[in-house]
Amino acid sequence: MAIKEMSLEEKYDKLYDFLALYYAASYAFNKEHGTVDKWLDHLAKVMGKMMPSFMGSVVKLMKVVSPGRTFKQSVNQMMYAFQMEQPLSGLELSWVSDREAVVRMKNCEMLRRLRDVVKKAGLNIGPREVCKSEIAMHMSPEHITKKFGMGLTCDLEENGCKWTFKLK
């Protein structure tokens, strides 16, 4: 019996479900042990290390030379990265100014999958708790956006969220 190769679409779908389950289970474990804040700061710090070390200096210099352009490039790069979790059709970008942008995630795919895996896995958490932990991680002083001088807020909506990015 030959094993059929999995399509890219199926791999993506299965990996996405695994990511949602892994994130929800990690959150549930840390909540149970009272370590959510430490876990989120650690996540933010580790994610920051994924950026090349020279990027901080480059962005700081570019903020002085061309802050609006630097901010726009940063937000556009985040929009590109958001497509890992959300189809582009579910993302809405609005420019308030060259120093402020609003990104709305409508019908959030991650939230939909979190609802499914939390229920199936019998985790004693609400899917929105996981969303709130993601927001808290982005608010950590260890998060890369803070280190680059970007203000960030997030408001949860019925089936998604709204992120506001501001260049300080």
Please indicate, yes or no, if residue 161 is contained in any of the structural domains: yes
Confidence label for 10 from pLDDT (cuts 50, 70 and 90): very high
Q: What is the CATH number of the domain that holds 132?
A: 3.30.1380
Q: Which domain holds residue 93?
A: 8-167
H helices, E strands: number in the chain: 7, 4
Please report whether residue 1 resides in a domain: no
Q: 52-109 pLDDT, tens per residue?
A: 554 555 556 666 677 778 888 888 888 998 999 899 999 999 999 989 999 999 999 9
Structural domain contains residue 21: yes
Q: Tell me if 81 is assigned to some domain.
A: yes
115: β partners: none
Q: What is the 3-state secondary structure (H, E, C) of 76-120?
A: HHHHHHHCCCCCHHHEEEEEEECCEEEEEECCCHHHHHHHHHHHH
